[in-house]
Amino acid sequence: MNILIVGCGRVGSSMVRLLEEMEHQVSVLDIDPKAFEQFHQMDGYQFSGVAITGIPIDTDVLRQAGIETCDAVAVATSDDKVNIMVAQMASELFGVPRVIARCTDPVLKQLYSREFGLRTVCATNLTVQSMLLSLLGDEASYTVTIGSTTAAFVTVAVSEWDVGRPLNQVSVPPNNLLYGVLRSTGIMELATQPMPILQEGDQIVFSRISD
C-alpha cells in the first residue's frame, strides 16, 4: 500500500518503521524538519521513503506529500484538532479510502467518531484501560479493534459463590457486557440460551468499549 503518515513524533516514526518493514511504500510529513531525526535514533533502521516538511493542513503541502495517490493516511501529530482537520481533508477533499487519526482527548474522540464518522484512536483511553487491567490481579484482557472502536474482553476467575449457578446470574460490572464463559479446557461458551452453568476453574468473560 501507498501510505502517508502525518506527524513524525514517536508514534508516527514508529508506524513508519513498522510499515516499511512490512514493505509498504511510506511518505511522512511533519511541520518540524528536526522531527525526522527520530529515524536516526532507531538502531538498524534506514528510512527509505519520502520525508516532507510543511504545514499539514495546507492542501499544497499534502499534495507534495503524495496524498492524491495514497491508499491510506494516518494522522499522528500531537495536536488533536490538527489531526482531525487533516483527517477530514484526506477523506473528504482527496478521497483517501482509509484514514485514521490519533486523538488524546476522550471527549473529542467520541465527538469526531459519532458526529463526523471519522476513524480515531484514543491513546488516553487505551492507556487508562491497560493500567487498570494491570492492577486487577487475576484478570486477563484481550482487545479487538472494529472500525475506529477498540473493545476489551476481560476474563475473571469464577468465585466459589458462583460455582453451580447459571452464567446470567453473576454480577456484571458497570459499563460491561456479559459475553460468555471460558472453560478450563480452553473452550468458550457464549452467554446465550441454554445458559451455561458455571464450574470450578471457569473464567467469566466480560466485554466493554476501551476507547
Segment-wise mean pLDDT, segments of 10 residues, the chain, 211 residues: 95 93 95 90 86 96 96 95 94 94 83 76 76 62 74 89 94 92 89 93 90 69
User: What is the distance between the alpha carbons of residues 134 and 7, in angstroms, rounded to a whole number?
Assistant: 30
Q: Can you list the alpha helix ranges (DSSP code H) found in the chain?
A: 10-21, 59-64, 80-88, 106-116, 123-135
Pairwise CA distance, residues 27 & 50, whole Å: 5
Burial class (CB within 10 angstroms; exposed 0-12, middle 13-18, buried 19+) of 60: exposed
pLDDT of residue 77: 95
Question: Domain 2-103 belongs to what topology?
Answer: Rossmann fold (3.40.50)
Answering whether pTM is above 0.85, one says no
Asked if 67 contacts 96 with a C-beta cutoff of 8 angstroms, the reply is yes
Fold of the domain built from segment(s) 127-209: Alpha-Beta Plaits (3.30.70)
- Are 109 and 83 contacting, i.e. CB atoms less than 8 angstroms apart? no
Domain ranges for the chain, please list them.
2-103, 127-209
